Chains A and B, each alone.
Chain A
Amino acid sequence: MKVIVREDGGPLVSVRVVFRAGSAMDPAGREGAAWLAGQMLAHGGTRRRSYQQILDFLFPRGAAVDVSVDKEMTCFRMDCHADHAEQMADLLAEMLCDPGWREEDFLRLREDAVHFLEADLRGENDEELGREALYGLVFEGHPYGHPCAGRVSALRGMGLEDVRAFATAEYSRENVWIACGGAQAGCVAQRLREAMAALPAKARNNGETPSAARLRNHRMIFVEKPAEGVAVSIGFPIEVVRGHEDYPALLTAVSALGQHRSSGGRLFESLRQRRGLNYGDYAYIEYFPAPMFLLEPEPNHARRRQIFELWIRPVAPEHAHFAVRLALAEVERLVEEGLTEEEFEAARSFLSRHFVLLEEGLSARLGHEIDGLYYGTGLQSDHLRERLPVLTREEVRRAAERHLRPQAMAFAFAGQGMEDLRRRIVDEAPSPVEYNAPKPESILREDERVSRRLLGAREAETRVVPAQEMFE
């Protein structure tokens, strides 16, 4: 157990309780156990109070208890006003350490999880569908190979006892970190620390996650569903996580390629700004939860295994092939040429100064401190401010060359007409583009080159899957 306390005189209280356990620890055939365990604690009753009684308690206080379940972490969050610090600390302690395990809560939350996969993911968010399909492809046969919410068939087959068994095995004194901030943070932390004494000493998982198998060739999944545009995600596993010696260099390279929701990255400039192919294009070396809804990364989704990820927002079906070719050309250029001096300086300056902003809020700060503990690097802002000033442009180029392998990647497409797109990609068909306005000669020349670029996909490593069969 580790406890972080950041007391201040403000009117708010914020708590994060993180167990180093998540969907990567789901037993085989019980994919979704971690998800449901988190949901049962945060959105179910305790032994003393029904969930309805908890809602009635929270309501006049405007307070909330919520949970996020990721691959390696389950984070419970509580935010309330200082007026209710003690009462809310008691409630949170009760919810986490003395859950009710009621069948009616379980059935409700299990059905919600199934609907999350069947309706939300397959049906309502093509971009997240594409991303999850990509993770499934990269991590096939690996503990990260299923969505954090599990699989539909496993969820349907799961009983309350499976979920309870997961919580008993994985939520332990050894793997819990408690972070409390704001008014009366010390008292709140003390109350939680006392309650956590009732947890088992050790967790079942040993804190190890195998590496993902290295990709030998391109691998592609085409998820067929009715849609106006085609969502595209591309990626491959990397060894670099925070704390790795190449992390600052690779982060700098990838920030210049496509910093999340920034208009300054190469991908954005090339695909959207110059050509209007879509709404935006970004690159990552760390998992970014729900990027379509968030401008900043939510902490406590730390993972031992990460992928390099390109996120190409929906493109017109007739431009999907070209957009992928163009994005890969940008990755290749990065690997071959590195950054210009100006790009290097700008990206380094951005990273040196940006993380301070992300860590400003009470809750965010606690979350980032926990991630710093997890990776052993301390706060990301401090870590980067220490490492970036001594970074060189050559180190960035070498890191990109060492870790980015555009010749063997996983591709996930979600949209309509997938068989046709697959055919065109496998056949290396030309993919010319037409614009609604005159373009400079330099762009037309580049287009000509890019539209004939060979991807090298082997038919045997591509497959079309109807959306309704995903995550089954």
Chain B
Amino acid sequence: MAQREAFPWLYEQHDFENGLRLVTVPLPWRGVASVYIVVHAGSRNEVEPGRSGFAHFFEHMMFRGTRAFPPERYERALQRMGAASNAYTDDDRTVYHTTLAAEDLDALLGMEADRFQNLEYSEEDFRTEALAVLGEYWKDSAEPLNRLFEVLRDTAFDVHPYKHTTMGFLRDIERMPEMYDYSLEFFDRYYRPENTTILICGDVIPETARAMVERHWGGWKRGRWRLEMPQEPPQRGLREARIEWETHTLPYVAVAQKAPAYDDGSAECAALDLISALSFSHGSELYRRLVIEEQWADDLWANTVDHVDPYLFTVVARVKQPARTGDVRRAIEEELERIAAEPPGEERLEKVKSHLRYRFVLGMDRSEAVAAALSPFLGLRRTPATVNRLFATMEAVTPDQVAEAARAWFGPEKRTVVTLEEKAG
């Protein structure tokens, strides 16, 4: 496996004159195609005060129709195709995805091109949709992890938009109905060809897909907006927060370290990915101790969640024995410090690399899954090439580089710790 490319499929990448990029991945499974339209704007783009959550809200508005395709007609057309269609917003991207019979690809690309260029909705529809977003916040609010990450980000960041979650602060969501004019501005800024990548995976011929996209999307005009990103100052000390949860819950502990921006050629970034599996996955020594042997926790994981700008390396545990919450926190912090002091064994590191490579390939057993696995990388670098570069970089990481990355990023002055516990009494 070590010799093979991590992303095993051939692909074609094409840039249109207006800046739109198309990535086509022909796959051996017959009759199905998956279209992922990646807009390179997410909650990271919510730089203005009071606008947190807007990219996600705007994703909802993209389903409010055009003159040619009012929402009912758009939905009816998807229904007739038997298509599975949805969208999501993340920090660095908003993704509109549809899986359908390959024979309907042209019709779908036509409908999507229409709404990306000619979206039109009334203020009444806008205000009604703001309520649906509030409903989405309510449904999420029952989950302690959502609150944990909301507080973690707010505590860890001072000025960068990563300070808020994709959903946004409740106070901003409640004010959304008043932001109709801003929504038009948002569309004008970000829904532009140079800011969009179309990914088509499945039973598709690249030349045919290119001609379809050219026909439907070729007339889309470039934009002029340049985003000015506030620079997050370096963190200079341990930050902590504690959440009291109203209902019964097991405690959660999140220990987050400031981490570098995604860079597929950086040994340091690749080393942090390796540490997430080495030290905090089901295959780690700490998992064995906390979950299997001592049973202080029932889950433990870490993610680097690669981001366009410097973000967080976060370790989360759910604590099974509430009295052990402090011990679990200490165990995580000690592991962060241990990995800085003590490079992993060569053999152990090889197992971790093997684990990450196989994990990446394993889920990709159909068009939709390949597109879903690839789209976050397109959100970062607009090309599948970044996947193979990242895994090649990872392959070359040495035990000493792992320890160096930990020394560079895991100091307590770059740390934020948030605990969530059931309210006493």
Residues of chain A in range 369-396 having any CB-CB distance to chain B below 8 Å? none
- On chain A, the residues within 8 Å of B28 by CB distance are 10
Q: A55 contacts B282, CB within 8 Å? A: yes
Q: Which of B190-198, B303-311, B366-374 contacts A (4 or more CB under 8 A)?
A: B366-374
A115 contacts B247, C-beta separation under 8 Å: no
Q: Which residue of B lies closest to A181 (CB)?
A: B365
Give chain A residues whose Cβ lies under 8 Å from the Cβ of B132. 272, 276, 278-279
B361 at interface (Cβ–Cβ under 8 A)? yes
> Do the beta carbons of B75 and A263 come within 8 Å of each other?
yes
A296 contacts the other chain (Cβ, under 8 Å)?
Answer: yes
Interface pair B63/A351, CB less than 8 Å apart? no
Q: Taking the complex as formed, is B139 at the interface, i.e. its CB lies under 8 A from any CB of chain A?
A: yes
Whether B182 sits at the interface, judged by CB under 8 Å, is no
The chain A residue sitting closest to B353, CB to CB, is A60
Say which one of A89-97, A157-165, A220-228, A451-459 lies at the interface with B: A220-228
A283 contacts B by Cβ under 8 Å: no
Q: Mark B81-109, 1 if CB is under 8 A from A, else 0.
A: 11110100000000000011100000000
B29 CB, min distance to chain A CBs, angstroms: 6
Given known A11-B8, A81-B1, contact A225–B358 (CB-CB < 8 A): no
Contact string, B363-403, partner A, CB cutoff 8 A, digits 1/0?
11111110000000000000000000000000000000000
* Also in contact, A313 and B139, with CB within 8 A (given A79-B362, A356-B31, A436-B177): yes
Q: What chain B residues lie within 8 Å of A313 (beta carbons)?
A: 135, 139
Partner of B365, one of A58, A314, A361: A361
- Asked if residues B79 and A362 are in contact (CB atoms below 8 Å), the reply is no
In chain B, residues 321-363, which have Cβ atoms closer than 8 Å to a Cβ of chain A? 350-352, 354-363
Contacting residues, chain B, for A295 (C-beta < 8 A): 84, 86
Q: Which residues of B contact A62 (CB under 8 A)?
A: 354-362
Nearest Cβ distance between residue B293 and chain A, in whole angstroms? 8
Q: Are B362 and A361 in contact (CB under 8 A)?
A: no
* Candidates B63, B71, B247, B358; contact of A61 at CB < 8 Å: B358
Among A62, A122, A272, A314, residue most surrounded by chain B Cβ atoms (within 10 Å) = A62
Which B residues lie within 8 Å of A229 (CB)?
135, 138-139, 141
Cα distance A406–B75 in the bound complex, in angstroms: 27
Residues of chain A with a CB closer than 8 A to B86's CB? 261, 295
Distance in angstroms between the alpha carbons of A62 and B29 in the assembled complex: 24
- When the two chains form their complex, are residues B283 and A59 in contact, meaning their CB atoms are under 8 A apart? yes
- Smallest distance from the beta carbon of B99 to chain A beta carbons, Å? 5
Check: B129 CB closer than 8 A to any chain A CB: yes
Residue B131, interface by CB 8 Å = yes
Residues 230-263 of chain B: 1 if any A CB is under 8 Å from the residue's CB, otherwise 0?
0000000000000001111110000000000000
Which residues does chain A contribute within 8 Å of B356, judged by CB atoms? 62
Q: What chain B residues lie within 8 Å of A119 (beta carbons)? A: 248-250
Give the segment of B50-58, B120-128, B158-166, B208-216 that binds chain A.
B120-128
Task: Tell me whether B282 and A60 are in contact (CB under 8 A).
Answer: no
How many angstroms between the C-alpha atoms of A364 and B246 in the bound complex? 39
Task: Tell whether B76 is near chain A: CB-to-CB under 8 Å.
Answer: yes
- The 8 A CB mask of A342-358 against B (1 = contact, 0 = none) is 10011101111111111
Residues of B within 8 A of A55 (CB): 282-283, 287-288, 292
Give A319 Cβ to nearest chain B Cβ, in Å.
10
Query: Is A362 in contact with B82, judged by CB distance below 8 angstroms?
Result: no
Kindly state whether residue A123 has any CB partner on chain B within 8 Å. yes
Residues of chain A in range 58-86 having any CB-CB distance to chain B below 8 Å: 58-64, 79-81, 83
- Say yes or no for A273: interface residue by CB 8 A criterion: yes
Residue of A nearest to B357 (CB): A62
A292 within 8 A of B: yes
**Complexed CA–CA distance, A61 and B360 (Å):** 11
Identify the closest chain A residue to B29 (Cβ): A360
Contacts of A11 in B (CB 8 A): 8, 361
For residue B422, give the distance in angstroms from its CB to the closest CB of chain A. Answer: 8
Residues in A whose Cβ lies below 8 Å from that of B281: 59
B interface residues, tally (CB under 8 Å): 75
Any A CB within 8 A of the CB of B142: yes
Report Cα–Cα, A18/B230, bound state, in Å.
54
> For A63, A115, A292, A437, which residue has the most chain B Cβ atoms within 10 angstroms?
A437
Question: Is residue B286 contacting chain A, with contact meaning CB distance below 8 A?
Answer: no
In the bound complex, residues from chain B placing their C-beta under 8 Å from that of A111 are: 295, 298, 320
Choose from A10, A263, A363, A436 the contact partner of B71 (Cβ within 8 Å): A263
A264-B124 in contact (CB<8A): no
Chain A residues with CB below 8 A from B31, complex form: 356
Q: Which of chain B's residues has its CB closest to A9's CB? A: B28
B247 engages A352 (CB within 8 Å): no
Given A62-B357, A351-B82, A360-B367, is A264 in contact with B76 using a C-beta cutoff of 8 Å?
yes
The answer to the question of B224 belonging to the interface, with a C-beta cut-off of 8 Å to chain A, is no
Binds B, one of A32-40, A124-132, A133-141: A124-132
Say whether A262 contacts B368, CB under 8 Å.
no
Residues of B close to A345: CB separation below 8 A: 80
Asked if A436 and B131 make an inter-chain contact with CB atoms under 8 angstroms apart, the answer reads yes
Which B residue's beta carbon lies closest to that of A125? Answer: B142
Closest approach, in angstroms, between the C-beta of A112 and any C-beta of chain B?
6
Residue B144 at the A interface, CB < 8 A? yes
Confirm or deny: B143 has a beta carbon within 8 angstroms of a beta carbon on chain A: yes
Determine if B130 is an interface residue (Cβ-Cβ < 8 Å).
Answer: yes
Q: In whole angstroms, what is the CA distance A410 to B98 when docked?
A: 35
CB distance from B201 to the nearest CB of A (A): 11
Name the contact of B298 in the complex, choosing from A115, A351, A354, A436 (C-beta under 8 A): A115
A207-229 interface with B by 8 A CB criterion: 225-229
Q: Judge if B32 is at the interface, Cβ distance under 8 Å.
A: yes
CA distance A83 to B72 in the complex (A): 49
Q: Bound complex: CA of A174 vs CA of B161, how far in Å?
A: 58
Within 8 Å CB of B367, what residues of A? 360
Instruction: Tell me the A8-22 residues at the B interface (CB within 8 Å).
Output: 10-12, 14
Expressed in whole angstroms, the minimum distance between the Cβ of B420 and any Cβ of chain A is 11
Q: Is A108 in the interface zone, CB < 8 Å from B? A: yes
Q: Which of B81, B124, B134, B366 contacts A438 (CB 8 A)?
A: B124
Tell me if B136 is interfacial: C-beta within 8 Å of chain A: yes
Q: Would A314 and B248 be within 8 Å (CB), given that A11-B8, A60-B355, A263-B63 are in contact?
A: no
Q: A11-B8, A52-B288, A59-B351 are in contact. Are A314 and B283 (CB under 8 A)?
A: no
Q: Are B362 and A436 interface neighbours, CB within 8 A?
A: no
Contact A226 B246 (CB under 8 A): yes
Roughly how many angstroms separate A127 CA and B100 CA in the complex, as a whole number?
A: 29
Q: Which of A52, A58, A123, A357 contacts B82 (CB 8 A)?
A: A357
Instruction: Give the Cβ gap from B93 to chain A, nearest Cβ, in Å.
Output: 18
Residue B61 lies at the interface, judged by CB distance under 8 Å to chain A: no
User: Is there contact, CB below 8 Å, between B144 and A124?
Assistant: yes
Query: Which chain A residue lies CB-closest to B347?
Result: A60
A118 and B127 contacting across the interface, CB-CB below 8 Å: no
A274 proximal to B (CB < 8 A): yes
B142–A363 contact, CB under 8 A?
no
Give min CB distance, A14 to chain B, whole Å. Answer: 7
Tell me the chain A residues, 164-196 only, with Cβ under 8 Å from chain B.
Answer: 182
Known: A229-B139, A361-B369, A436-B127. A112 touches B298 (CB 8 A): yes
| Pairs A-B, 4 closest by C-beta atoms | A353-B82, A62-B358, A276-B131, A59-B283
Show 15 A/B contacts (Cβ-Cβ < 8 Å), sorted by A: A51-B292, A60-B354, A62-B361, A64-B362, A80-B362, A81-B362, A123-B247, A124-B143, A225-B247, A276-B132, A279-B138, A279-B139, A313-B135, A354-B83, A436-B131
Taking A60-B283, A61-B358, A126-B142 as given, write out 14 further A-B residue pairs in contact, using a Cβ cutoff of 8 Å, ordered by the A residue number. Answer: A10-B28, A10-B365, A62-B360, A123-B144, A123-B245, A125-B143, A259-B79, A262-B79, A263-B71, A279-B138, A314-B142, A353-B82, A356-B82, A360-B367
Q: Which residues of A contact B (CB under 8 A)?
A: 10-12, 14, 51-52, 55-56, 58-64, 79-81, 83, 108, 111-112, 115, 118-119, 122-127, 182, 225-229, 231, 259, 261-264, 269, 272-279, 292, 295-296, 313-316, 342, 345-347, 349-358, 360-364, 435-439, 467-468
